[in-house]
A and B are shown apart, each in its own frame.
Chain A
């Protein structure tokens, strides 16, 4: 006899009819629930869904390919979910089990319907049946394991995980559906009494059936029918409850994965015409958000990964990305579209360092940092910014740099300031390290973007000098803009002053066009990100590299050669702090390590921190926070410096002038004497430059 089992075996026709009626009813509740949320999302600004799917398949495919990829990798592949130790693995188990059982039930129904047309269309038998049963029977265990894990975890709720009363139903119903599923199978085996492979292909079911072997067939059959009904009713209640509980993330999550197209470190430009038309900038009403952004609020599962990654939250500032998303969600649910700025307070919006850790860890790609920065735009336009950050912006307006120093002094870095304390004897004897301007070297191949910090900040000026020495030693044909370089406007844009940014960007783009610049090297990741991701929105397209990438390339090409003998090389341990806008936002984390490796004694390695590369933790200066004051106990820099010092490193290498300032402050606050140096400085030291 071919191994198989009868669909709806032992289920009387009346029960079957009621079953189908309830199926339709539960699906109707499900669809109605989804429709209610969909109607809310529709209130957002259009995302051009029609345009996305218009045209021929050949035209549509390239448009939707990134979305499909995210669905596959982040959705089915659970890429970001898995990254959380046991919890991530338990979710994967639950997910795989659920998907398998869901697919199995669907196949069973197809077989049933096909068989209804003709017996010949039945496929639920033979080898197919064996594989089917074995797969579902085993993956059901993964499903149950996952459910149990999360139920147990919910009793000892981690601080970052959200909780609603309905969560007990969500997990409880899943667990009971799994258990009753096995019970139905065991009881079916008990009355059907299959033999050989037909029984052995359901090992768990067989084990359950052994409890009922002594039962008369009639008892097995009636208990089977009863448990089958319990199982079915649970499933119907479960389906109907999806849009009303946290389970809705299974619908909104994949949808958001498909539609979310925000790249880290990228902000949407706004034109003055648009502002005049709308009479506002940024988000003050939830309806100013896009349909996808509103949908993303429903995708949030309150897993708390964003909160755990947030440097503002870690330093007890009044910001949790999770709270922001949940607060916005409850505004949407409660039809309180206008209450955005009453609910999300200015101190919350201004606490964000725009480090993008929250958005980069979200398994369903909710983008808290994007929403925060859009709300910030509105806040700043309405006069919600004051103090030191306001001073920095006014200076960027009046002097084209946040320090408010004259443009004529942009070249001051070339000469070590005689009043500034010198770190080493060689530095104080250093001669003028002039770099050629675009006028002095009109045939330059590479433009060195010095940046405001590199130009005006006493400490960062030393990084600029080190870079110029390295570029000269490697024989790079480069030039600087000198007095014609202005602030990129990055801080202004992330602080919320879009038009100050645009003014600076347009001036810089005009200058860069004037000198036909195509390749740029920057030693500030904020300048780099702005030139790379902000400027193309205004017609400035350049090939931008970070100085660590260039240095690593020059080392590889042998144009910079570290001496083989140790010389004055210190054998102190070095750790490397990844800047957010370099490692996380732009994926550059290998080049600085390769450069450092070349500057370190052979065989020695970096003392790495736990949070590194894309998972690095902010120094506290991003998003314009560089220009804001923090109370000593709320300093992000102190926290991060603590992590760096815990590696035992005597030197903390950085590759961002903001990180340089912040880490130095943090190290000092911790009373440590560890050195904080830019990668370029460490390499220049090693080369004796």
Chain B
């Protein structure tokens, strides 16, 4: 069984993000980019399924310009078999992403799609759901536990919800989106990336996969969150209670 894993190139989670002065976006100079952590979890899970014999091939896909190849190499270094770069030079919204992935899905015919529940840059959390909708297949989102059952025809998924872990079963093919606690992705070092350079990365023009990827949403502006104000040290519990009552008015 083939698993298709879409990965997105996002600013590294340890990078301090600054917003451009005109609010049109973030400053990308000197920002280190890496694979969206949720997508790395999806790659890891796909590889574990392959290592356990449940899957035979792990195919990665990234949408964007040639810089995304770097992210694909990381996934290949982790152990994925091959990668596809869908060449897109314009801005994409979640629907555009879902349409392109749907196009690729039809070409690749994978056993299922495993992807991060959201990207840590725009935090939209919609691409997976839209993809399942466009393809008319099932979906299991926020998955923190994943087992293939009944000979790989169904997946039993533990979903993290506010009320606790919800166990659902989904008929494959389906779109499964991964949550933080599904696994801890393996570390990739330089020799691994060097080795991965021999693995194939196919490039496809976006037009071959979807006809209209014009964004349906528009970003008006970016704003940095307000800085945190310094805290106050209180001398006693009484003073704390007093301040909570009279200043913060939370008691």
Residue positions of A touching B, CB distance < 8 A: 272, 275-276, 279-281, 380-387, 389-390, 393-395, 398-399, 404-406, 418-419, 496-497, 499-500
| Cα(A406)–Cα(B13), bound, Å | 12
* Residue contact A386 to B12, C-beta cutoff 8 Å: no
In chain B between 172 and 199, which residues have their CB closer than 8 angstroms to a CB of chain A? 183-192, 194-195
Closest 7 A-B residue pairs measured CB to CB? A390-B187, A404-B14, A383-B186, A499-B190, A385-B187, A386-B184, A387-B184
* Residue contact B192 to A383, C-beta cutoff 8 Å: yes
Q: Which residues of A contact B192 (CB under 8 A)?
A: 381-383
* Residue contact B184 to A381, C-beta cutoff 8 Å: no
- Which of B187, B194, B195 touches A394 (beta carbons < 8 Å)? B187
* Residue contact B79 to A383, C-beta cutoff 8 Å: yes
- Which of A380, A383, A385, A399 touches B14 (beta carbons < 8 Å)? A399
Shortest beta-carbon distance from A531 to chain B in Å: 22
Q: Which residues of A contact B185 (CB under 8 A)?
A: 386, 390
* Residue contact A393 to B231, C-beta cutoff 8 Å: no
Given that A383-B79, A384-B186, A386-B186 are contacting pairs, would A398 and B12 also be in contact in the complex, using a CB cutoff of 8 Å? yes
Q: Does B245 contact A (CB under 8 A)?
A: no
Known: A381-B192, A394-B34. 17 other contacts (CB 8 A): A280-B191, A380-B187, A381-B189, A382-B192, A383-B79, A383-B186, A386-B184, A390-B187, A393-B189, A395-B14, A398-B32, A398-B34, A399-B14, A419-B231, A497-B187, A497-B189, A499-B189
Shortest beta-carbon distance from A602 to chain B in Å: 39
Q: Does B230 contact A (CB under 8 A)?
A: yes
17 of the cross-chain contacts (CB-CB < 8 Å) are: A272-B190, A272-B194, A276-B194, A279-B195, A382-B192, A383-B78, A383-B187, A383-B192, A385-B186, A386-B44, A386-B183, A394-B14, A394-B34, A394-B187, A419-B230, A497-B189, A499-B190
* Residue contact B190 to A500, C-beta cutoff 8 Å: yes
Q: Which residues of B contact A418 (CB under 8 A)?
A: 230
Q: Which residues of A contact B44 (CB under 8 A)?
A: 386
Shortest beta-carbon distance from A383 to chain B in Å: 4
Q: Which residues of B contact A404 (CB under 8 A)?
A: 14
Number of interface residues of B (CB under 8 A): 24
Residue of A nearest to B15 (CB): A398
| Cα(A281)–Cα(B231), bound, Å | 50
| Cα(A499)–Cα(B190), bound, Å | 6
Q: Which residues of B contact A272 (CB under 8 A)?
A: 190, 194
Given that A381-B192, A398-B12 are contacting pairs, would A386 and B230 also be in contact in the complex, using a CB cutoff of 8 Å? no
Shortest beta-carbon distance from B58 to chain A in Å: 13
Q: Does B106 contact A (CB under 8 A)?
A: no
Shortest beta-carbon distance from A484 to chain B in Å: 15
* Residue contact B195 to A383, C-beta cutoff 8 Å: no
- Residue among A280, A381, A390, A497 with the most chain B CB within 10 A? A381
* Residue contact A500 to B189, C-beta cutoff 8 Å: yes
Shortest beta-carbon distance from A619 to chain B in Å: 24
- Which of A281, A390, A399 touches B186 (beta carbons < 8 Å)? A390
* Residue contact B191 to A275, C-beta cutoff 8 Å: yes
- Which of A276, A380, A399 touches B189 (beta carbons < 8 Å)? A380
In chain B between 11 and 58, which residues have their CB closer than 8 angstroms to a CB of chain A? 12, 14-16, 32, 34, 44
- Residue among B14, B16, B79, B191 with the most chain A CB within 10 A? B191
Q: Which residues of A contact B191 (CB under 8 A)?
A: 275, 280-281, 381, 499
Shortest beta-carbon distance from B52 to chain A in Å: 15
Shortest beta-carbon distance from A498 to chain B in Å: 8
Shortest beta-carbon distance from B57 to chain A in Å: 17
Q: Which residues of B contact A389 (CB under 8 A)?
A: 187
Q: Which residues of A contact B184 (CB under 8 A)?
A: 386-387, 390
**A-B CB contacts (within 8 Å), total count:** 63
| Cα(A276)–Cα(B194), bound, Å | 8
In chain B between 206 and 240, which residues have their CB closer than 8 angstroms to a CB of chain A? 230-231
Residue of B nearest to A406 (CB): B16
Q: Which residues of A contact B190 (CB under 8 A)?
A: 272, 497, 499-500
Q: Which residues of B contact A275 (CB under 8 A)?
A: 191, 194
Shortest beta-carbon distance from B128 to chain A in Å: 24
| Cα(A383)–Cα(B183), bound, Å | 14
Shortest beta-carbon distance from B49 to chain A in Å: 15
Shortest beta-carbon distance from B183 to chain A in Å: 8
| Cα(A124)–Cα(B229), bound, Å | 96
Q: Which residues of B contact A399 (CB under 8 A)?
A: 14
Residue of A nearest to B16 (CB): A406
Q: Which residues of B contact A381 (CB under 8 A)?
A: 189, 191-192
| Cα(A165)–Cα(B81), bound, Å | 50
Q: Which residues of A contact B230 (CB under 8 A)?
A: 418-419
| Cα(A418)–Cα(B187), bound, Å | 36
Residue of B nearest to A383 (CB): B186
* Residue contact A383 to B194, C-beta cutoff 8 Å: no
Q: Which residues of A contact B14 (CB under 8 A)?
A: 394-395, 398-399, 404-405
Q: Which residues of A contact B183 (CB under 8 A)?
A: 386
Residue of A nearest to B198 (CB): A279
- Residue among B16, B44, B78, B186 with the most chain A CB within 10 A? B186
| Cα(A394)–Cα(B190), bound, Å | 12
Shortest beta-carbon distance from B7 to chain A in Å: 16
Q: Which residues of A contact B187 (CB under 8 A)?
A: 380, 383, 385-386, 389-390, 393-394, 497
Q: Which residues of A contact B78 (CB under 8 A)?
A: 383
Shortest beta-carbon distance from A375 to chain B in Å: 15
Shortest beta-carbon distance from B236 to chain A in Å: 16
Q: Which residues of A contact B12 (CB under 8 A)?
A: 398
Residue of B nearest to A282 (CB): B191
Q: Which residues of B contact A280 (CB under 8 A)?
A: 191
| Cα(A383)–Cα(B191), bound, Å | 10
| Cα(A569)–Cα(B186), bound, Å | 50
| Cα(A401)–Cα(B233), bound, Å | 30
Q: Which residues of B contact A281 (CB under 8 A)?
A: 191
Residue of A nearest to B192 (CB): A381
| Cα(A418)–Cα(B231), bound, Å | 9
Q: Which residues of A contact B195 (CB under 8 A)?
A: 279
Interface 0/1 of B68-103, CB less than 8 Å to A: 000000000111000000000000000000000000
Q: Which residues of A contact B16 (CB under 8 A)?
A: 406
Shortest beta-carbon distance from B50 to chain A in Å: 12
Q: Which residues of B contact A499 (CB under 8 A)?
A: 189-191
Shortest beta-carbon distance from B240 to chain A in Å: 15
| Cα(A499)–Cα(B192), bound, Å | 11
Shortest beta-carbon distance from A347 to chain B in Å: 14
| Cα(A444)–Cα(B213), bound, Å | 61
Shortest beta-carbon distance from B187 to chain A in Å: 4
Shortest beta-carbon distance from A538 to chain B in Å: 16
| Cα(A500)–Cα(B187), bound, Å | 12
Shortest beta-carbon distance from A611 to chain B in Å: 33
Q: Which residues of A contact B188 (CB under 8 A)?
A: 383
Residue of B nearest to A502 (CB): B190
| Cα(A385)–Cα(B189), bound, Å | 10
Shortest beta-carbon distance from B78 to chain A in Å: 6
Residue of A nearest to B13 (CB): A404
Q: Which residues of A contact B186 (CB under 8 A)?
A: 383-386, 390
| Cα(A649)–Cα(B78), bound, Å | 49
Shortest beta-carbon distance from A286 to chain B in Å: 20
| Cα(A126)–Cα(B189), bound, Å | 73
Interface 0/1 of B121-153, CB less than 8 Å to A: 000000000000000000000000000000000
| Cα(A418)–Cα(B16), bound, Å | 22
| Cα(A208)–Cα(B16), bound, Å | 87
| Cα(A389)–Cα(B195), bound, Å | 22
Shortest beta-carbon distance from A629 to chain B in Å: 10
Residue of B nearest to A492 (CB): B189
- Residue among A281, A383, A418 with the most chain B CB within 10 A? A383
| Cα(A280)–Cα(B191), bound, Å | 7
Q: Which residues of B contact A393 (CB under 8 A)?
A: 187, 189
| Cα(A219)–Cα(B15), bound, Å | 95
| Cα(A384)–Cα(B231), bound, Å | 42
Shortest beta-carbon distance from A476 to chain B in Å: 34
Residue of B nearest to A422 (CB): B233
Shortest beta-carbon distance from A75 to chain B in Å: 39
